[in-house]
Structures are given as structure tokens and as C-alpha cells.
Chains A and B, each alone.
Chain A
Amino acid sequence: GQQLNQSPQSMFIQEGEDVSMNCTSSSIFNTWLWYKQEPGEGPVLLIALYKAGELTSNGRLTAQFGITRKDSFLNISASIPSDVGIYFCAGNSGYALNFGKGTSLLVTP
């Protein structure tokens, strides 16, 4: 599969701080998506991006589809304890959705 490089691998922050994570690839993707996984559950879609340059928000979350179509970032503003989980980027090429290795986020009150 196509390699997605997601960073950082983990983050340990205080409640109220902003968070930024990103994903890069050597390949072009048609779609970028961001998922969140909580312990014992499957990933849940947060944001889907369909066009190069697209900037989309979902509450405190904002994500952008890079102009080159090879990267994307996710920002979380004013983090809260329930933001804890693993965040995955994913890129679509045809019928295969390729996932990054995830960013583990811990938020302390």
C-alpha cells in the first residue's frame, strides 16, 4: 500500500491547548480523511476532504487538503479531555483507503 507518514506519533497536552497533526505521502490522493478511534472501538470519521486546497471545519476541528494533494493537516482547538484517542489520517486512491499509523492524543484536565 501507499505510505502515509503521520506525525507526531503521540501528544500529551493540557486541557485548553490547541493541537496540530499532519500527514504526508509520496503519492497523490483523491480524498483525504481524518478518523478518531477510542479504546475498544472502531475508527469514526471526523472530516472528509475532497478537493486540493479545501479547508473544512467540524466544531473545534479544522482540516485541510494540501494543494499538492500529497498532504493534509488536522487542528483541534481548545482541547478537552474527551478528545483523547488515536487520530488517523487516510488517503483514498481508487477503492483502497490507506491509513497513517496514527497520532495518540492524551489530554490532562
Chain B
Amino acid sequence: NAGVTQTPKFQVLKTGQSMTLQCAQDMNHEYMSWYRQDPGMGLRLIHYSVGAGITDQGEVPNGYNVSRSTTEDFPLRLLSAAPSQTSVYFCASSSLSGQPSGANVLTFGAGSRLTVL
């Protein structure tokens, strides 16, 4: 099925370790983004990209890096994991064609649950 695929679904890290959360979409969407979801906090935007080679920061970018070398992939890197980064991470994508203003109709992946000890 077409959609947004995130891997891994679950990950446990020790403080200071690095890892990459993978995100791939097969809908040829220009826009891709990463959110984190914490209890009672809703979804907060980490980074987003409007096309290959273009990335920008969201509301909570500190401690995370992204790159967009292809239209399909948008990996999220944690260079030195901290317990405060324990969360559920969602990747989402959207077509920008025909959108009245920016990216709206996001298609979300199933999420990656990260625990940092």
C-alpha cells in the first residue's frame, strides 16, 4: 500500500548513543516532516523539508538533524541521545501541488517509539 513507512517501530538507546529514524514515502510528495508526540503535549514539529536538498527547523529542532537527498526519504538523526528525547516520533508527508497555502493534508506514518535510558 502507498504511504509513509517508518523504521524502526521501537528502539531503546542509552544516553549518548546516536541513531537514525528512517522515513520513506512513495507518493512523490514534495513536503516531508518530523513530529514528536509526548503525553499531554500534542504533536510538535521538529524539522521539515519542501523538497530534495531543502530543510528547515520547526518548533523543537535542538538535538536532531535531518537531510533530504531524495524526494522519497527523510531520515531523522539523533547525534547524542538524551532521556528528554524519549518520545513517539511521526514522519508525515504532503503534496504541495494545488495546496492553497503550504502543506496541509499530511499523511502520517505509524510512528517510531524511542526510549532513551
Which residues of A approach B to under 8 Å, CB–CB?
1, 4, 6, 30-31, 33, 40-45, 48, 50, 88, 92-102
Q: Could you tell me if B108 and A44 are in contact, using CB atoms closer than 8 angstroms?
A: yes
B26 at the interface (CB under 8 A from A): no
Q: Could you tell me if B106 and A45 are in contact, using CB atoms closer than 8 angstroms?
A: yes
**With a CB–CB cut-off of 8 A, which chain B residues contact A97?**
33, 45, 102-104, 106
Cross-chain pair count, CB within 8 angstroms: 74
Q: How many residues of B contact A (CB 8 A)?
A: 29
- Select one of B40, B92, B100, B108 contacting A50, CB under 8 A: B100
Q: Could you tell me if A33 and B105 are in contact, using CB atoms closer than 8 angstroms?
A: yes
1/0 contact string of B65-98 vs chain A (CB within 8 Å): 0000000000000000000000000101000000
Which residues of B approach A to under 8 Å, CB–CB?
4, 31, 33, 35, 40-45, 48, 50, 56, 58-59, 90, 92, 100-111
Q: Could you tell me if A42 and B102 are in contact, using CB atoms closer than 8 angstroms?
A: no
- Select one of A45, A95, A99 contacting B50, CB under 8 A: A95
A-B contact pairs, 28 of them (CB 8 A): A1-B59, A31-B101, A31-B102, A33-B105, A40-B111, A42-B90, A42-B92, A43-B90, A43-B106, A45-B105, A88-B43, A92-B101, A92-B102, A92-B103, A94-B101, A94-B102, A95-B31, A95-B50, A96-B58, A96-B102, A97-B45, A97-B102, A98-B45, A98-B59, A99-B35, A99-B42, A99-B43, A102-B42
Q: Smallest Cβ distance from A7 to chain B, in angstroms?
A: 13
**With a CB–CB cut-off of 8 A, which chain B residues contact A1?**
44-45, 58-59
Q: How far is the CA of A85 from the CA of B88 in the complex (A)?
A: 17
Known: A96-B45, A97-B103, A101-B42. A42 touches B50 (CB 8 A): no
Q: Could you tell me if A42 and B108 are in contact, using CB atoms closer than 8 angstroms?
A: yes
Counting chain B CB atoms within 10 Å of each CB, the highest count among A4, A6, A45 belongs to A45
**With a CB–CB cut-off of 8 A, which chain A residues contact B58?**
1, 96
**With a CB–CB cut-off of 8 A, which chain B residues contact A101?**
40-42
